[in-house]
Amino acid sequence: MTDSPETPSAPDSTDQVANVPGFGHTPHAQASASPEPSGFIVDPHGAVDVPADSATTASATAVTVAQSAPNWVYQTWDPNTTTTGQQSGPDKPKRSSSTKAAVLAGILAGLIAGTGSYVVATNFGANSSTISLPTTSGDTSPRPDGSIADIAQRVLPTVVSIDVRSATAAGTGSGFVIKSTATDSYILTNNHVAVGAGANATIKVVFQDESDTVATVVGTDESYDLAVLKVAKGNLPVAVLGNSDDVVVGDASVAIGSPLGLSGTVTSGIISALNRPVTAGEQSASFINAIQTDAAINPGNSGGPLVNAKGQVIGVNSAIATMGSSAMGGQSGSIGLGFAIPINKARAVAEDLINTGKSDHPVIGVSLDLNYTGAGAKVSDLTAGGPADKAGIKIGDTITKIDGHRIADGTELVVRIRALSVGDTVTLTREDGSTVKIVLGSSASQ
């Protein structure tokens, strides 16, 4: 059982979610290779850059979100294989004389054409003046307000690259400036970027003008995969924060960050879906009611902004789905399935971290059965005197809906509750059709 009510727990109190597949881990020197999981993998995309003296390669956090996805294999041409699949060698049928003649004719034609071209070029150069090719003038590529180029020009100055290094591991990610005074500035990024290299790490922030400075951690929230950094550098351009509640499927989206350490990279797409329940982070700690986008997001984009057509930040890029690992740090690149933390939730968490160094999580005061395989979330324990206990929820109840929305499993229940705020009232529907209203309680996180 656990005191963190909304974190489903196993019988051994490891706070795991029912039927959520295993995770990888953030960069650490002792990380070891693990079998390649099948199906889609959601992983925070902080590109790993392990120091040269490290013998191991750190991997990013991962979670399986589908049981079986196709692995596309493209056949390569084998010079020892004929077009009919017969292997070359002593027993291979010889080409006919007509085939040989055709090949020879092609070679001769090429030689003749090449010789002719050389002669023409030589004679032309000897009997003509210097050649000048035409040029164009004026605006050959209009960039109206709201174009991708216009958005990039306005947002890029607020985006930073983040390099985190310790004696045993290293990682890179992205972030953006959310507040700046005359002397200091605050940067929002992912928790897995800020703590990815372990304890006693040095965090370096690199700005678009290529200047850099060391940052300190103001506060982190593992549950939402968010962190705020502070730098002793003032009067910086600040990102404009939008309203993620106004986002609809089909809206234009632009992702900005440092994929694979390539700072200032801009990609565009649309909003593909909303309210995607995504878990990310070590030991399934982060539960994100995510915005899905097909804008290309790759390892290293973590913590960077997802912006709308007005250049307003609507999300914090945090995770991607991939088809499996590749040679590039053990991670595959974008397949058009990226996930961002809605900025309304990120804003609230950032304000808490800046003002108090911690953030509050909404909870209902239950633990969930890890072994339950049916639809919905089955209650395995209650926090005495907690919101659910006061509302009449019983051990063994199965919650099938929250505010009228069906709940597939315990993970989705946790995600939907954490997308709300402390003090909000929700209506839970049980398997027998009965409903209860619960006022969300608080569980503070350092």
Rounded to whole angstroms, what are the CA distances from 26 to 58, 264, 389, 417? 7, 23, 36, 26
CA distance 173 to 175: 7
302 classed as catalytic: yes
CA distance 140 to 95: 54
Task: Return the ∠ at Cα 144 (arms to 140 and 147), rounded to 5°.
Answer: 105
From 54, 302, 332, 359, active-site residue: 302
CA proximity to 260, closest of 341, 326, 168: 326
Q: Bridge partners of 360?
A: 444
225 classed as catalytic: yes
Cβ neighbors of 192 (< 8 A, separation 6 or more) are: 26, 44, 46, 60, 61, 173, 225, 280, 281, 282, 286, 302
Q: Is 88 exposed, middle or buried (0-12, 13-18, 19+ CB in 10 A)?
A: exposed
Tokens 């049916």 belong to which residue?
Answer: 374
From 15, 43, 49, 225, active-site residue: 225
Rounded to whole angstroms, what are the CA distances from 385 to 5, 365, 391, 393, 417? 12, 8, 10, 11, 19
From 25, 45, 192, 361, active-site residue: 192
Task: Return the ∠ at Cα 196 (arms to 236 and 444), rounded to 5°.
Answer: 80
Task: State the catalytic residues.
Answer: 192, 225, 302
